[in-house]
Structure 1
Amino acid sequence: MSKIFVIHENNAWVEPLRDAFKELDLSYEEWFLDEGVLDFSSAPPEGVFYNRMSASSHTRGHRYGPEYTAAVLAWLESYDRVVVNDSRALRLEVSKIAQYAALRRYGIRTPRTLAAVGTQNIVAAAREMPAPFITKHNRAGKGLGVHLFHDVASLERYVASPQFEQSVDGVTLIQEYIQAPEPCITRAEFIGGKFLYAVRVDTSQGFELCPADVCQIGDLACPVGGETAVTRPRFEVIAGFQSPDLDRYQHFMQDNGIGVTGIESIVDEHGVRYTYDVNTNTNYNSEAEQKAGLYGMRTLAAYLGRASGQLPVREFAATAA
């Protein structure tokens, strides 16, 4: 039996996991990795290390959290410690271009995307993309920095304005806009490499789609549903969700060091599914889960309890059912 170590940089997002650890009486320790000193000459403690470092850490003042975490994960992996969401997963977390390149290897369709560095090149790339199109940051999180444009002239004015948001890694993506028959996306949640459930997310209020209860929607960057009022929950677990991509997602996760993730996709008016984001520090919406009787953080805690030897295998299976 060994301890669980949780690597993160956002206390609020870890609170539900702490409650789940307490409920299951699991031994754990948190490593808050916004900065620090790492001694490569010493051996790390024995245990199971769960990495939930976020691509959006810079929005909370933790600019180099992912870089420091990359160093820590390299250290842990050099000693063959068990890491859930290892250095390969972190690389995908902080780069959507890396995500799309990896997803493509498994036959998973992604939107047509151009990557540009420099405002002039952003505009030049947009001229290659039929309107409407969207821009987004290569390294972001929560849908931050997503904007919808109906013509290149609007984008040109935006990038020349004080409102222009530069991606923290300098890479802006210009991406085809997928026209869905209704304003929603699907987020498929996986724990221990296994599908747990899919949630329907209403996008009529904008693209800041973090499902955590503590996430607040401020200025809405990109409404896509017109002026119609929202008549259903923003987050809603989909009963009996099925898609051929589920198996592809699981193979993708297995080969890329991902044990826990939420994968977002959208279906166009022709029924074609496009996958556009992989979240390896996934959160869950308590209201949606309560209605469905499925609980992501408790399932996650039980999975880590099993991996650390603190819980028998049957505990995770019962919790995930």
Structure 2
Amino acid sequence: MSKIYIIHENSEWTIHLTKRLEELGLPFEEWHLDEGLLNLGQEPPEGIFYSRMSASSHTRGHRFAPEYTTQVLAWLEGHGRKVFNGSRPLELEISKVKQYLELNKHGVKTPQTIAAVGTAQILDAAREFDGKPFITKHNRAGKGLGVQLFYSVEALKEYVEGPDFEEPVDGITLIQEYIQSPESYITRCEFVGGKFVYAVKVDTSEGFELCPADACQIGDLFCPVGEEVEEKPKFQVIEGFSDPILEKYEKVLQANNIHVAGIEFIRNADGEIFTYDINTNTNYNSDAEAKAGKYGMLELAKFLGEKLKQEELKLG
């Protein structure tokens, strides 16, 4: 019997999808790929495959999960299996450099960014910003890893030469112009099946490391899912969101065979949009969705169910 196979390394981020699949009565199986064996002489099972592999897996003790998943996806694709968010999406998931190059190729503006390896090179990159504020971040990130705001090269020097410096897992630090939003929020656009589902407004006034998942602890910061300041929720679905940027985003997704993603942007004081992240392991905020009556995981489960049905018809 054909199934939906879910490839991932974090059950806490996947349970919301499996619950929806159960509600719809769809057969599925989880492949938790933090470890495994891959026999190249065997054929994969029949069915469809959906990858939720995350760039931040190393923060959960799964250092080589993306590398192993890369091999598994190549095996599946080599045998002609239908894979959603396969090899190319994972390639972008673990490299912001590649994300920005791809966004720029399709006319999407990104912040000025320099990639650096080595302490001296990080400081040299910061000098290119001519005294303007800048941020550092990890090339292979997720959860806002390594995001720090600096107003001077001297402050950066103290950080990178001190004990608190976070070494990126791939060794590549990004130095990026700081785009300040006058209202301290970013916008995240969610896509399922390559099509826009909804946009969510995310309050950034308490810091950079924000994750919409219901289970998401980052250092001493807690993603305040289910907790709200009375006047203003942290995550809020934007009713009737529409912008020409959505058409460009859909073209980026189509060109890279990305079926499911959350794309984040920020507006500067002049209203210009700067896009800075494509997250192919997207999560959703349950409180914000309940208030809006829109459910990303339900849409994803329906999408996978329809694709499984199509695959079964093809197989006869």
Q: TM-score, normalised by structure 1?
A: 0.92
Residues 48 and 311 of structure 2 are in contact (CA less than 8 Å); yes or no, is this contact kept in structure 1?
A: no
**What's the offset of the Cα at 1:179?**
1.5
Partner of 2:309, secondary structure, is: coil
**What's the offset of the Cα at 1:220?**
5.2
Q: How does 1:139-288 map to 2 (within 5 A)?
A: 139-219=140-220, 231-288=231-288
Distance in 1 (alpha carbons) for counterparts of 2:221 and 2:275: 22
Alignment deviations for residues 140-196 of structure 1 (CA, whole Å, 9 cap, x no partner): 101121000011100000001110001000000000000211100000000011100
**What's the offset of the Cα at 1:35?**
1.6
Residues 145 and 209 of structure 2 are in contact (CA less than 8 Å); yes or no, is this contact kept in structure 1?
A: yes
Partner of 1:200, secondary structure, is: strand
Decide whether aligned partners of structure 1 residues 17 and 288 sit closer, same or farther in structure 2, where only a CA change above 3 A counts. same
For 2:17, the equivalent position in structure 1 comes to: 17
Q: Residue type of the partner of 1:275? A: T
**What's the offset of the Cα at 1:208?**
1.4
Alignment deviations for residues 95-140 of structure 1 (CA, whole Å, 9 cap, x no partner): 0000001111110000000000011110111011142100000001
For 1:226, the equivalent position in structure 2 comes to: none
Residues 302 and 311 of structure 1 are in contact (CA less than 8 Å); yes or no, is this contact kept in structure 2?
A: no
For 1:58, the equivalent position in structure 2 comes to: 58
For 1:117, the equivalent position in structure 2 comes to: 117
Residues 135 and 175 of structure 1 are in contact (CA less than 8 Å); yes or no, is this contact kept in structure 2?
A: yes
Distance in 2 (alpha carbons) for counterparts of 1:233 and 1:51: 30
Distance in 2 (alpha carbons) for counterparts of 1:21 and 1:4: 9
Q: Residue type of the partner of 1:208? A: E
Distance in 2 (alpha carbons) for counterparts of 1:124 and 1:101: 22
**What's the offset of the Cα at 1:230?**
8.3
Distance in 2 (alpha carbons) for counterparts of 1:67 and 1:61: 14
For 1:317, the equivalent position in structure 2 comes to: none
For 2:77, the equivalent position in structure 1 comes to: 77
Distance in 2 (alpha carbons) for counterparts of 1:244 and 1:8: 33
Partner of 2:42, secondary structure, is: coil
Alignment deviations for residues 185-230 of structure 1 (CA, whole Å, 9 cap, x no partner): 0000000111000000000111112101111354359xxxxxxx88
Q: TM-score, normalised by structure 2?
A: 0.94
Distance in 2 (alpha carbons) for counterparts of 1:213 and 1:12: 8
Structure 2 residues not aligned, in runs of 5+: 223-228
The total of aligned residue pairs comes to 305
Partner of 2:108, secondary structure, is: coil
Distance in 2 (alpha carbons) for counterparts of 1:162 and 1:57: 23
Alignment deviations for residues 58-89 of structure 1 (CA, whole Å, 9 cap, x no partner): 00000000000000000011011111001000
Partner of 2:266, secondary structure, is: strand
Q: Residue type of the partner of 2:38? A: L
Partner of 1:309, secondary structure, is: helix
Decide whether aligned partners of structure 1 residues 56 and 102 sit closer, same or farther in structure 2, where only a CA change above 3 A counts. same
Decide whether aligned partners of structure 1 residues 251 and 128 sit closer, same or farther in structure 2, where only a CA change above 3 A counts. same
Residues 47 and 311 of structure 2 are in contact (CA less than 8 Å); yes or no, is this contact kept in structure 1?
A: no
Partner of 1:302, secondary structure, is: helix
**What's the offset of the Cα at 1:255?**
1.1
Distance in 2 (alpha carbons) for counterparts of 1:36 and 1:148: 39
Distance in 2 (alpha carbons) for counterparts of 1:16 and 1:163: 35
For 2:226, the equivalent position in structure 1 comes to: none
Decide whether aligned partners of structure 1 residues 188 and 75 sit closer, same or farther in structure 2, where only a CA change above 3 A counts. same
For 2:225, the equivalent position in structure 1 comes to: none
**What's the offset of the Cα at 1:290?**
0.3
Residues 143 and 218 of structure 2 are in contact (CA less than 8 Å); yes or no, is this contact kept in structure 1?
A: no
Distance in 2 (alpha carbons) for counterparts of 1:194 and 1:20: 19
Aligned CA-pair RMSD = 1.7
Partner of 1:188, secondary structure, is: strand
**What's the offset of the Cα at 1:231?**
3.8
Residues 9 and 33 of structure 1 are in contact (CA less than 8 Å); yes or no, is this contact kept in structure 2?
A: yes
Give the % identical residues.
61
